[in-house]
Structures are given as structure tokens and as C-alpha cells.
A = this chain, B = another copy of it.
């Protein structure tokens, strides 16, 4: 007898026809009993959707199944049949349910809404929540779309160094990387003797792969990086992270217009990709996180981005009659409130401000 290969619940639910014998595996979301059955909602993280398992009371381990609680993991073999229930095309009538691992009452993800704050405290379990499993599936899909976008256009993916000896944005923001014994560092001439460090010199975590990417672009024409980047800034805002994945395209033969073209095409490509490949997840974000999300994303995809020179943008802001918290004038950088006025109030679409004075280049 050949062993039955397991099927992802996402694929099972998209089946075009009933399937006599199918195996799924996953974690119990909820279970409820009727007279002769137990109904198990099973999720395996392949999508937001659960498959409903019908466990008949004739199953040999029915008593144990009736003790299954949220979070338990099971392997189910049975028949995929048209569902009588509402809102689902298929359900799975089980021939066999193997309990892989039980969960007890202390399992923290019981059936109810959880705040992101609560989920943050159970980082090892939060990928099982609808919100975070959706976030991580979309992140994965978008990471792939990033590669697809550049590879389709002949860009070469470059892994630039993470540990670096160069200090391109000022030492204050850098994490030091070292194997020196910090309790008793080797000293020389009043300073630290970095000749005894791992790379025989001071080294840091990269803040940008731009330097190396530029060298590669001057050989391969079009390249991109996509890797972790670090800032040791002690600012706890939603705009700062000490560790994040950054994308840096570099093009050898390109001007400012070509650069803006690429950025616009890229943003639109990623949004369209997420809309196409993650419809359930985007719907969930729109329902529970940001009601205007989908309308705003579609606007970004549909309309050309507005392009405006820095001086013209400052003109508009000065003449706007708006009361801003921060001053605006030629030579000053644009603050978040100025950017929002340009995009949300004035142009009502994404705006690229070009010809920034090089002294305040963001």
C-alpha cells in the first residue's frame, strides 16, 4: 500500500471535484459536538481558511477526539465531499484522525479576538493567529514578488556584505561587530588594539549595500540588493527599526527620470501582486486593520504618480495657507506633515519630489 501524500488545506478547498481519499494535517481552531458527530475546524496555515472535519462517533478514538481542544494538532484521512454547511464548498468526512499533539486549557490562543499587544507577548504562537499568519504570508509573497520584478527586468541580485569596515552614515548609528573580550579588551597606545579583533580592524553591521551595489552596477548594468540592514538609533517610532530588510536597486546607465519610472513601476507591481495572490489576507486587513486600505491601494495602482521639483513643492506648501507645526522654506527638509499635505490633500496620489537640494538629500 502506498502512503497517501498530505494535501495543503488551501489546495483541498480549491479542489474542482470531490476526492475519495485525502489527507490533511493542521491545528484545531475549534471543535463542537452534535449528536453523532464532532465538527472540527482545522487550519494548517496554508491560507486563512479552515476545512471542516466531520468526526463520526463510530471512529475508534472518538472519546479522545471529544477531548481535542484549540491548538491540538491532528492528521486526518477521509473523503472530501460537498458541504451542507454555509460558506464552504467542501468538508472532510474523516475515516481516521490521528492526534499528533494535544493542547491543554492553558493554550493562550483561545477562540476570540486578541489584541496585537497580547500577540506580541506570545511571539512563538502569534503566527497561528489570523492577523499574523496573514502578515507573514503577505510578507513572503511580496519578498518573492520583489525578486520576480527585478529578475524579469534583467537585474542581477547581489548579496552585499553584512559585516563591514566602512562607516558610511556616521558612527553614532552603527552596531559594532566584535569578538574582542569586552571585559578585558586588548589595549595599545591608550586605545583598543583592534588588530586583535576577528577581522583585525573595527567592524560594524552594514547600514547600506549601496557602495558595493554601485561597483556591481558598473559591471552588470542593473543590480539590486535585498537583505538585512541595521541602524543603532535609539528612536522608538513606527518609522525606525534597528533591523530591517532593505531593497536597493542600482542602475549604471540611468537618469533621475528612469529612476522615478522604476520606483513607480515597482510599487504598483508589488501592490498588484499582493491583491492578486493574497486576496483573503488583504480582505482581512481591510476589515480589521484599515477600512480604507483597498481603495487607497487601488488608487496608487491606477493613477500615475505625481512628480514635482523640490522648489515647486516648497512653493505649493508656502502658498497652501495650511498651518504646519514645522517651518517650510527653500533649503529645509520636508517633514511628514508636508509630505502628507502634498499627497493626501493636494495631489491625492503618491508624489515624487525630485531635485532635492543635495545638502538635505533624504
Interface on A for B, CB 8 Å cutoff? Answer: 6, 8, 10-11, 25-27, 44-46, 73, 75, 100, 123-125, 127-128, 133, 136-137, 139-141, 143-144, 147-148, 151, 154, 156-159, 161-163, 174-180, 182-183, 185, 191-192, 198, 205, 215-216, 218-221, 227-228, 230, 232, 234, 242-243, 245, 252-253
Are A198 and B242 closer than 8 Å at their CB atoms?
Answer: yes
Are A156 and B175 closer than 8 Å at their CB atoms?
Answer: no
Residues of chain B lying within 8 A (CB to CB) of residue A11 = 154
Are A140 and B127 closer than 8 Å at their CB atoms?
Answer: no
Q: In this complex, which of A144, A159, A232, A234 has the most chain B Cβ atoms within 10 angstroms of its Cβ?
A: A159
User: Which residue from B75, B127, B163 sits with its C-beta under 8 Å from A253?
Assistant: B75
Residues of chain B lying within 8 A (CB to CB) of residue A144 = 147-148, 151, 157
Please name the residue on chain B nearest to A185 by beta carbon: B182
Bound CA span A144–B226, Å: 12
Are A243 and B10 closer than 8 Å at their CB atoms?
Answer: no
Bound CA span A123–B160, Å: 12
Please name the residue on chain B nearest to A160 by beta carbon: B228
List 22 A-B residue pairs with CB atoms under 8 Å apart, sorted by A's residue number: A10-B154, A25-B252, A26-B221, A27-B219, A46-B220, A125-B215, A125-B219, A128-B218, A140-B151, A144-B151, A144-B157, A159-B228, A162-B205, A162-B228, A162-B230, A162-B243, A163-B242, A176-B176, A180-B182, A183-B191, A198-B234, A227-B227
